[in-house]
Every structure is written in C-alpha cells, then in structure tokens.
Structure 1
Amino acid sequence: MNSELIYGRIADALLCDYSSVYYVNAITNEYVSYAMDPEFRSLKTSFEGENFFEQLKIDAARVVHEDDQPIFTEHLQKENLLEEMKNKTMKNIVYRLMIDGKPVYHSLRLIHGKSTDDQYFILGVTNVDKEVRMELEAERLSKERKIYNQIAQSLASYYDTIYYVDAENDSYMEFSSSTEYDELDIAKNGLKFFDESQRNTLRVIHPDDKDLVLSVLRKEYIISKLENKKSFSIKYRLFLGGTYKYSRLSVMWSSDRTHFIIGVENIDEQMKKDIASRELEKKSKTFSQILNSLAYRYDSIYYVDIGSGAYSLYSATGESGSLKIIKNGDDFFTDAPILIKKVVFEQDSETVAKTLEKVELLERLNNTDSFSLIYRQLINGSYSYVSLRVAWAEDKCHIIIGIANIDDQMKRENKYKSELISATEKAMNDELTGVKNKNAYQETERTLQDGIDSGNSQPFAVLICDLNDLKVINDNQGHKAGDEYIRSACRLICCIFAHSPVYRIGGDEFAVILRDNDYAHREELISELRRKVLENCSKENAPVLASGLAEYEADLHKKVSEVFELADSRMYANKKELKQLSHG
C-alpha cells in the first residue's frame, strides 16, 4: 500500500472534523484564517489579518462565554503561549461560544511548530456551525499549499489511533500518535480487520458496551450507516491502564470511498460533554440552499450597501423558497422614506422611518448584531402586522433587512391576551357584587408585603367589615333577599370609601385597603360609615355591618397579616357594641 496516499486520504477525511483553522506567524503576528468547505473536503482562505493576538481579545469579548474569556485574553496571548509551549507542541482547550444567546461547547486544538525560517501556531476549531462558507478561491499559492500540508499532518494527531481498512478485502493498517494503546496487544496491520476486531472486543471492551461495539464493527453495518452520511461515531469504555476509560470510535469513508477510516480517541476527561458525536453530522447543503431556506420565512429581503446605499430587493418564490431579485436601486436611504409613506400605517410610519435612517441603523447595529421592529403595513388592500429584522451581512459592508407577514400570529397573540385579561378579571372579581374578590385581596396583600420586605412601603390601613344578621335574612326571607342585602352593604362601603379598592373576602365579610387621600381621611370615613350603620339599625332591611380599622406601623408590624388581624379584632369589638345597642 502507498502510505503517503493513505495518509493524505486520512488527513482529507479528518479535515471534516474542523470548522475553521488558523495559521499564525509567531514572529510577525500576521495570520491567515482557513474555513472548511464540506462539499470539497478541503481548506480555503477566509481572511487575513495583521495582529492575531489583538484581534483575539476583541473577538473573545464579543462571542466567548464570560467565564472562558480569560483563556483567550490571557492564556492564549503570545508571550504566555511561547513560554508554555517551550517543551510541548500541542495543547487542547475546551471553551464555550455564545450562539443565539446559548453557550455552545467548542474544542480548540493548538499546535506550536517551528521550521528553519519561521515559527507558527496552528489552531483547529471544532464547532457545530451549520453555515459553512462556500466561496471558492481559484488561486492557491505555494505558501498556502505548504500550510495545508502542515495543518493536515497536525490534525491527524486528533486521534490516538487510526485504522485504514480496505472496504473490499478487509486488510488494514494502523497509524498511532501514542504508545498508550500498545498494551492492548492489537496487531498494527493484518488481513481480516473485522474478524480480529470482534475477538479484541470480547477481550478489552467493558461488558456493558460489548454488544454495541460488536454490532458496529461489522462491514455490512458500516456500509449501511455510511450510505447517506459521511461519518458516524459511538462512545464506549476501553480497558486501558488498569481501568476502563471512555473512548470514541469514529468511522468515515476515505475520499475515494474504497477504504474505511476508523479513528479511536480517548475522551475519558470529556465523558459528560458528548459533543463530538453530533459534530460529524452531514453538511451537504450549499450556502445558497441554506440562505433560501432561511429566506423563505420572509416576504421581502433588502441587501443594502451601507456605504453607497445601493440595494437589491429579493423575494422568496415558489415552494422551494428560492430567492429572486425583484428590484435594484441606487440609494435605499432615499427610496425607503418614500415607500414608507405609501405602505406603512400612518401611526407607525414615523417610527419605521426613524429606524431606517442610516445614522440610526448604524448606531443600533454597533450595539447589537441585529434588531427587530413590528409595525402595520398595507398588504392586498388592508393593513397587516409585519416584522422587520435588520442584521449585518457577514462582510460588515452590507446590511440585510427582512420583512415577514406576522398578521395571523399577532391576531392569535392579541386574542390570547384579551382572553387572558378577561379570565384574569373574572378570577379577581366577585360575581355577586362586582367588587374584587379574595384572590384579588391576596394579590394586593402580597404587593404590600413586598413593599414592607424591601423597605419601600407606603402608608396604608386595612378596614374589615362584617354584615350582621345575614343568616337571619337568608332563613326568613330567602337567599335572594340575602344576596340583595350583601349588595346593598357593598354599595354602602363603596360609596363612603370611593377612592379605595373594596374586596369581598367571605360570604358576609369585606375588606378595604386605604391609601393616599382615603388614608389621610380615614377617621372621618370610618366615622361616617358607623354613623350610617347606626341610622340603618332603625330601618327595615337596611345594611348593618360591624367595622374595624387598623393602620400599618413600621415599628410594630412586619406582616400585612398583622394589620389585618388587628383590624379584624377591632371589627369584632364593634360588632359586640352593635349587638349591645340592638338589645338595649
């Protein structure tokens, strides 16, 4: 077998593990970034820069999880790296990128290399970013080819052991970057890879994982699994160094689909992270297909040159959602205000026009990668709710403005809000009297308690009222008369305490929370209530109710319930007085 050809094929296959690779000149700090082209399984130049380590600080502050930023702003700075890498050439780092507001783990492999005429770092990043740059560059300089070879050789060391297996006759060769697996006494090459693997599995794999490994290490199974995907992997435990350690076995085709490439990696320290099994997921969609898929959510998309204002208007057409250019224009910022006056609802037009001013756009995009605005727009003769989303294009020289019709969604949300408000009001109101009920009182009590607990309480008082003789009326005149008696008592309370919320908290019991003006005149108001009650004592079917008032005092009361209980006790004292009067 041609070892160099085999090694190249292995390297090509391994490149699909990395979403991006950086080549950094450790002397000048100049760098070249390479991105993976999954369709062609090769590296291509993404961009170049003059000072890698300064740019690393800027990018880390923007996209790296806060806890992991010191890795990039301190540990991966040039002086620290050179010192740390004096006696080693490779370093693995796991960190988190913030994607859509969520942390996503990435693995960074750092390789420090030296040659006679230069010194460099190579950084390989494994990520789950589904959007892969598809731009191809025709020219490949000899320097780039040299860098490609260096990266390919370095990436092969990602696996501890690699088996290169002939898919036709099962012969194989082993390539190992470590002597750790030598103790397993597995042959370095042979003629029957699958037969030997089955025997070795019974000897060195954890009993609970044997069935899984035995089922996977069959040629028919591998061919079936790789029929529609580039690779797959499993996790299992291998007896190594006197103990079982977690390993990951990854299987993929060589680039010519004549050999299987099987890599074995020690992942014992990363057992719980389990990210690599998904990182080899098929990425067959081209950039344009991904773009069309995303664009299908929008009715219109503007692609605007932020410098000149020149723009193109796209629309997603057909079931596939493929993009079609509808219009080209010279100056978006001149044309937009004219269009806004024609199609945007009058009450929303000023906000939309202000949002789409160039200065306003740039100011907002300097603080965030994207933002949205909901407004009403004329569509097919009537106004509908639309969502406008503005974001930077990848080159930071253009902005993308997408407009989507969300009228049905907004109507559903508004209907839900209306029903929720109605249900909430119903749950908080007393059906018989129309005033608030016990649920509402408990909510108010919680709000008052929060004020007390935070030290921001305002003066308030609690009034408790209890109807006299309701049971007598119900028994002698019926519940209809009893209900009217309750309503008339409620009207009396509401009339006197006109600026305070009234709550029916029991069958014949009411509570009132006095604040502001009613609190300031509380003594006059309760005197008026009790005067009216005394008048009603001599009238037939007029409401007679006992009352008790208590003020919140910060130095005495820690709980609203304490004020309630004090008012309740004073109400019972008043009830006793009323009974004595009625029997006097």
Structure 2
Amino acid sequence: MIYAMVPGSALVINLIINWELFKKYGFSIKGNDEKKWVHVRYNYFVLAACGYFLVDMTWGILYEHKEVQAFFPFIYFLTVLYFLFMLLTMLTWTRYIVAYLDRKGLRNDILLYGVWSMFTIGLVFLSLNPFHHLMFFYNEAHEYVGEKGKNITFFLQIAFYTVVSIYMLYVAHKSTGRQKIRYKTVAVTSVVLGISLTLQILFALHPSYALGLIFGICLVHSFVQSSEKKEKEIHDHIASTMAKDYEAIFYIDIESGEYLTFAKSEKYMSINATALEKDFFKEAYDSIDECVFPDDKEYAKAFYNKETMLRNLEGKRSFSFKYRVMVNEKPRFFLFTVMHDTSSKHLIFYEKDIDDELNAEKINKENQKKTITFGQIAESLASNYDAIYYIDIANSSYVNYIVSNIFGELEIAKSGDDFFKESIENIPKIIHHQDRDAVCDFLNKDNLISLLENQKDASIDYRIIVKGKPRFTRMVVRKTSDSTHFIVGVEDVDAEVKKQMQQLRALKTEKELARRDELTGVKNKTAYKELEESAQGNIDHGMDYLNFGLVVCDTNNLKQINDTLGHAAGDEYIRASARLLCDIFVHSPVFRVGGDEFVVFLRGNDYTQRHELMNQLRSQVLENKKIGAGVILAAGMSEYKPESDCFVSDVFERADKEMYEDKQRLKA
C-alpha cells in the first residue's frame, strides 16, 4: 500500500497542476497553429504520465495481495501496461520537445526516428514476452522477476534521455533570456527521467520512475508552463493597452479572407461600416462608398485588393496609408496600417484616427514660424560654442559638454564638483599670461551673480595657448530661467579674428568699397541695411539670446558750417564726428546712414558697457560745446527687447526718438 501511495499522490498532483491545460487546449486542434500544437503535445505527455501513475498505483495495490490467485491475471496485465505507458511517456515527451523547439532539421528527425524505433522495440519485446519472457515473468509465488529485455529497453531509454538532455543543453547555450531557462528546464527534466530509470533498474520494486516523472512535470510546470503563461498575460496586457490607441483592429486569414475584429471604439461604431467577418477585402471595399469622404473614395479603393495589399507588404514589416473617413457627418483623417503576423498566414490591419494629431502638427508648424523649439535652441547653442558648462550655482558642481576640441592635449573633465576652483587651477595652464587676471576676476562666482542681476549675459574675450600659439576665445555666461544654474559657453573666435583681418585687407575690392563711406571710412547705409537684415533674420528665427543695441547720432550745426566756412569744412566736421564715434565704440561697427546721421551697432563688450560709453560720448560732446570746439553730436540709444520687439526698426525708432530729445537739449 505504501508503494501505491507514491504514484497515487503523483496522479493527484499531476491532475491539479495541469487540469487547466487539459481544459484549455484539449488533445486536438483545427488548422496548423504550431504554438497551440506545443500545448496539445504536452497534454499528450501529461496524459501518458497520468496513465502510468494510474497503472503503477493499481499494480502496487494488487501486488500487495499477490497471493490471491484471482488477482494474478490483472497483475500481469498491469505490468504490461506499466511498460507500455513508460514507453508512451518517452514517446510523447520527445514529440513535445520537437514541437516546443519549433525547428525542422536533421537533429529533430533523428530524435523522432530514434524514439519511434525504441517505442517499436519495446512493443515487440512486450508482444513476445508471454512466449519467451524477454521483459519479465512471475514465479510460482507470483513474485515479479525482471529479465534482460527489460534492462535493455531501460538502458536504451536512459541513453536516449541522455542524448535529449545534451541536445537541449546545446540549444539552451545558443539561446538567451527566459527561453534559455526554459530549454535548461526541459534538459534537466530529461536528466531526471534518465536518473529515475536508472534507479528503477537498481530498485525494481520501488516507484522510482513515478517520482522522477512527477518531479520533471513539476519542473516544467514551474519554469516553462507558468513562465509562458505569465509572459503571455503580460503580452496580452500590453497588446490590450496598445489596442486602446486604435479605433479598430482586424485579424485576417489571408487565404479565406475571414477575419476577427478587436478594439472597436465608439468612434468606429459611429461609422456604420459593414462587418460580417466573412470576407475582409470585399466588405472593406463595399464600405468605402458609405464611410469615406467623397474626394478620397477612388484613392481608398485602390488599397483593398488582396493581391495589391500583399504586394505593398513585400520586403516590408508594415505598410500604411491614410484618407478621410466620415465620422458624425464630418471628415476626419484615419491612418490604416497592415502587417503580417508571425506565421505569415494572417494579416493584422488596424486603423487610427489621426485627425487631431495632424491638426496639432499643423499648428505646431505654424508656431515654428514665430519661435523655435528648445531643442533647436540647444542645437544652435551647441553649434555656436566649442564647449558648454552647466553649473549648479548653489554647490558649483558642473557638467561639461565638449562640442569640438579647442584645448589641444589638455584633458577637461566631463563633470566635476567645483567649476570655479578647477577653473582657477587651469587658468595658468591654458590662458595667455596677459589675460589671466581678467579671466580670474571674471570667473568669480559672486562677480557673475552680480553681473547677471540686471543683464541677460556677460562675456569676456581672451587668449588661450594651444601648442605654443595664442588663439582668441570668447566666454559667454547666462543664467537659466529658474536662476539655479549658470550656462557658460566657450567659443573659439580665432577664425573670426583672422577673417576680420582678411576683410580689412580686402577693403580695396570693389564690393567692400561699395559698403564703405568714401568721406569718413566707416560703413555706409548699404552695409547698415545688410546688417539690419541679418539681425532681423536672427529675430525671426527666435535667436533672442543674441543681444544688441543701436546708437543713433546726428551732427549739430552742419548746415551753419557749410554756409559760413564752406563744404570742405563741413566734410571735415563729418569725418571728425565719425572718428569720435569710432574712438568711443571701439568694438562696434559705425555706419554713416545719411548726410549727417550715424548709427552704431552695439555688440560684445561695447554692448555690456553701453551705458558707460554713452556717458563718455555725451560728456565729450558737452565739453566740446562748453569750449566751443570739436564735434557736437546728438545721440540716442536703445537695446533690443526680445519680449516686445519684433523688428530691428523698433529698436531704431526708440533710439532715434531719444536722439531727437538730446538734440533739443543741446540746442537749448
């Protein structure tokens, strides 16, 4: 009775853990769904195991009472069934493995031929056993006695399970992820079955194979079946969640045209499309006249031919097209996408309302005409600067983004704990000795905080030493909108300086002379218009970080000088006015835009120090007026205000107005 408890318990456990598989997949399937065939094959194995457990349990109960003569025929018959179901478990297990691997090839063919050969040999031995006692016999005391044939079949099965285990371990070695674990589990199960058969040879009257069989089934249940079930639930959950994004999804049999419909939204139901689920291509084509916007009907009909749809998919994972569908009597753009499933026997066709997305995209494009996105600003900054530092104002930690290497062989850390401390340490190594003090003063945290309290940025030009030669560099510092970080841009302007030098050498060319005022040598109105257009282009593209200002000037008393002293004196007066502006606004271009009118385009250091420079100009003018010698210039200044200015002319008009007011004061 103790013997029978082991297979009996195994039978109960087997039915409990696999009953759901029996109900869900059964023992047959319509069509050629290979994935479901795997579960059906496994059910055959589990069923064979149930048969073995039942026979082994019954044999154990009756063998306890072998002295009862009436039981002997049943005991003998159960022994035959015992070996038969043992062979069946090996056969069904191997067929499950082949289906599970889902591979066609010589190795799988060898497995199938091998298992069928051993199954046949076992049947032959069992058939001949009543006549020659190849497998077993019972002595006069009705005691079970194993023969050589039994050991031969057992050894063959053990060898076969060993081959299967090695093969599955090889497959597992070539695999990755969860599948690797599952293949290893199948391999270990085969090892367990082989070991249990070995123990069955050594201890014939112990239920070793039953123990090994239920242990292997539990392994497969825990690491293969349950794992696949959980993975399928996750996949189904993902699919159902993603399906909510579509109005309808169709699963179409390519050969017959029959289909299933999933994820029908309320919007799709309002279309009133025909859905008999008999022939997708015909029904979709027939529905076009009822559902599609009139202008798009002919275009839509071109897609719902099976051959055309398959041709469009050749060499592609998916194919999409869009047209307008009437929803509640209003046209809305729908995107239609078709793709093969993994078996290539079905098509997955899904449709999505993209009208809102298209409208949003249209609005976004219109907005881009007025402003650029943050990403474009970042790209623009990255293209303008050779290195960018993002510095935490609170603790001075930073991240360094190198755009191009202008530092020669010096290694700059990508991140650090104290930007200002490391900068002070690096300045003697890379900065020209004449510029070191200025850079040290500039890169003082308190200094930067103070500079940026009332202005958007601060900058400094200096020279670095690269391979023993100086290169001009510009550093620009701004604060983030939340005032928590500094953004420091380092720009190599050496090429710009060389370009300016080349431009100076080319002043004699006709093109440059056309932009140069012959009388004063400063730039003329044509050059100013070009610069104005360039600045306007920056404004139109949202580059509001490029600060600039305009100084509008007008000479006083020019007419009086021309009338009293002659035009030669008037010309000299204009030249003196230009020299005064060039001497004060050293880093900014000066333009003569009229007979006695000048414009200075403030940028760089001149923009930063604009108020001091304007005070210097006005002080000089007042001094000239007081002593009655020198140039008298009325001047007005205005800065570009990105929050309100749309045109350069807005800046000019404010400066011109201030100049006019200054002119009145000078005449008073």
User: Which of the two has higher C-alpha Rg?
Assistant: 2
Same fold at TM > 0.5: no
TM-score by length of 1: 0.36
TM-score by length of 2: 0.32
Greater relative contact order structure (CA < 8 Å, 6+ sep): 1
Q: Which is helix-richer, 1 or 2?
A: 2
Q: Which is strand-richer, 1 or 2?
A: 1
